[in-house]
Every structure is written in C-alpha cells, then in structure tokens.
Amino acid sequence: MNYKLNKFSEKSFSYMFFSKLSKINLIIILSIILLGFVGVASLYSAAGGYWDPWAKNHLIRLIFGMCLMLILAFLPQDIFFKLSVFSFLIGILSLILVKFIGTGNVQRWITLGGINFQPSEAMKLALILILARYFDHISRIELDKLKTYILPIFLILLPGFLVISQPDLGTGLTIILLGLAILFFVGISMKFVILCFILLASSIPFIWNQLYDYQKDRILVFLNPEIDSLGSGYQIIQSKIAIGSGGLFGKGYLLGSQSRLNYLPEKHTDFIFTLISEELGFLGSISIILIFCILITSIMKISFRVKSLFSKIVTFGIGFLLFLYLTLNIGMVCGLLPVVGAPLPLISYGGTSLLTVLIGLGIVLSISINDKEVL
C-alpha cells in the first residue's frame, strides 16, 4: 500500500514539475542567455583577451544566478507576497548599516565573508514587492484619495534618500523613479500627479544646493562636456569617440583601439556598451538593444496577462526596472543623460546588480508559470 502511495506521489510530483516546466517563458530564457553571453564576451575583450579578472567571475556569477532564477521560477508566487515586508525591512536596515560599516571609496557596499554586497541594488526589488503588497488590497475608490498615497510615498522616499545620502544620487533617483512609475501604473489620481510636479519644480533650487560638487560637475559636463575635457568630461568625450569610430559594422571583436589603449574608463562596468559599440558597430549595438526590447516586452505581456493585482504590479515593476537600467546606461554613455551609476543588465561587471536582475526575472517566471493560482 505504501509502495503504491509513494509511486503515486512520485508521478504527481513529476506531472507537476513537467507541467510547470512546459509553461516557462522560453523567450525570456533565450534573451537572458544571449545577453549573458554578450556580457562574458565583452568582459573578455575588456581585459585584452583574458578571462581574468572579469570574464571568468562574470560567467560563474551568471551560472549561479541562473540556477537561482530557475529555483525561484518553480516556487509558488505567494511566497514573494509573504516575504515582501520582511525583505523591505532587511533592505532598509542594510542601507542604514552601510553608513556605519560600509566599504569602498564611498560607503555603498557591505562586506560579508569576503563578498561585497550593495544593498541599494537589492532594495529595488524589495520596493517593488512592498508596493505591490500594499496596493493589492486597495480599491479603485481609495485610489482617488490623496491619503492613500501617504504610506507609499514614504516607502519610496525613505530608501531613495538613504541611498542619495551615501552619496549615490543616480541609484537613489532610480529607486524614486521606479516607485513613482508603480504609482502611475496602479492608476494614481491626476490631482496627485499635478501636486507632485509643482512640488518638484519648486524644489529644484533647494536640490541643487544640496548636491555635492562632483554631482554638480556631472550635470554641467552633461550640458557641455568641453568645459572640463580632461576631468569630469573625459569619460563622455572618449565614449562618444569610441561609439562614433565603430561605424556601421565596428572595428571587429578584440580590435577596439579606444579600449585597447585604455581611453575608456570603467569599460567593464558602466561604460561597457561603449566597448561593444566600438567593436561591433551600429548593427551590433542595435541588435543588443533589440534583445533587451524583446525581453522587456515579454515581461510586460506577462504583467497584462496575469490575474492578481500583486502579480501585475511586481511584473510591471521588474520590467520597468530593466527599462530604467537600459535607458540610463545607454543614455549616459551616448551623452544624452548625465553620468550616473547605472549598469547594463546581464552585461556589465558587478555581482549584486547581476543577481538582483536574475532574482527579479526568477520572480517574473514564477508569476508566469503560476498565473492561475490565487494568492
């Protein structure tokens, strides 16, 4: 009898596993693999044709992150609902601890067992989850009342200003933009939008006076890079030269002169798209942007398809986060936006940002697989 029950349980488990496996979004998986491959190849090129110090570590992190992503994909989505408050509190605590035990030239990382961890990156996922949980039980009538947004605004501004105070203006503003995008997605009242716009416009002089000198320089250099061509404007000028010199087809893989001669600062992190543009040209750059667009569009389609509001908000938030990363990074290296710390997802070197993206994509896959289950 026990043998039959065990046999039945094994068959049920196998049926459930393969049933969920058949629902996994192959477009998202394929996009991740392609972008990950581009990242490893680009970091190999950035090191002058060597696996160390970046390409090998990136590949190891990518494999580990994808395994973690697939594990999360098969978990029921209500786990993320239950962990939303806990993850947000841990995120806030980590941001506070950075002020006291943070490491690096600027205190943005926490070192645990020899591994550097950047809490501001993980905070983005925690914010998405906590806002999704809050709005999951808010009625349409309540969305028209300004008092409904008092707590969400606090939840957005608290981590945002903690990160800005590190100082990390770019990441802090990214967190705030992400939160405001979620408010817009759930159907924020136009009265509140107008009020926020007026407050933002009137506070620009105050915000400017609170910026550090290097942050002001970045904004001024964005408006005119030539005012400090050997200082704050050096990165942007060299980035534009490299992108332009790539032409239509590029100089060829491992043949980028700007990167080989070390004219490109941070070519393995925030400015890796510049290296790609120089070596693969316009067509190669557009192809990578197209893969990102396919990935983000696939995520947004899931957001419109799933039934629970929590799942809709989480999926939209993760899709918009990828869009923010992509827009800020490419806009920055092309001189269309001020220089901010925005990595290119799955491609730039950086463990915390890579794992954050892959964990977020694991949550998206879980929602996609379990979209018929009720929270």
314-335 pLDDT tens trace: 999 999 999 999 999 999 888 8
Cα distance between residue 172 and residue 160, in whole Å: 5
Average pLDDT on 347-373 reads 88
Position 8 scores a pLDDT of 45
Q: Which two tokens stand for residue 94?
A: 């980590």
For the stretch 257-301, pLDDT in tens is 777 767 777 788 888 999 999 999 999 999 999 999 999 999 999
Cα-based angle 365, 367, 373 (whole degrees, multiple of 5): 140
For the stretch 53-89, pLDDT in tens is 899 999 999 999 999 999 999 898 889 999 999 999 9
Decide: helix, strand or coil at residue 335.
coil
Instruction: Please tell me which residue, 151 or 12, carries the higher pLDDT value.
Output: 151
Position 319 scores a pLDDT of 96
Q: Phi, psi (5° rounding) for residue 369? A: -70, -40
End-to-end CA separation in angstroms for the chain:
35
Cα distance between residue 163 and residue 119, in whole Å: 9
Which residue shows structure tokens 């490299």?
242
For the stretch 147-177, pLDDT in tens is 888 899 899 999 998 888 877 878 888 898 8
Position 90 scores a pLDDT of 94
Decide: helix, strand or coil at residue 117.
strand
Tell me the whole-structure pTM to 2 decimals: 0.89
Lowest mean pLDDT across 4-18, 129-143, 206-220, 250-264: 4-18
Position 373 scores a pLDDT of 44
Query: What angle, rounded to 10 degrees, do the helices at 309-333 and 351-369 form?
Result: 150
What percent of the chain stands above pLDDT 70? 83
Position 70 scores a pLDDT of 93
pLDDT band for position 374 (cuts 50, 70, 90):
very low
Average pLDDT taken over every residue of the chain? 84
Cβ proximity of 76 and 369 under 8 Å:
no
In 102-166, alpha helices (H):
119-135, 150-164
Instruction: Please tell me which residue, 29 or 17, carries the higher pLDDT value.
Output: 29
Q: Which two tokens stand for residue 113?
A: 């067992």
In 47-168, alpha helices (H):
55-73, 78-101, 119-135, 150-164
On the question of pLDDT at 375 being above 50, the answer is no
Position 238 scores a pLDDT of 82
Instruction: Please tell me which residue, 255 or 70, carries the higher pLDDT value.
Output: 70
Average pLDDT on 32-61 reads 92
On the question of pLDDT at 17 being above 80, the answer is no
Q: Phi, psi (5° rounding) for residue 86? A: -60, -45
Following CA atoms 4, 10, 15, 17 in sequence, which dihedral angle do they give, to the nearest 10 degrees? 170
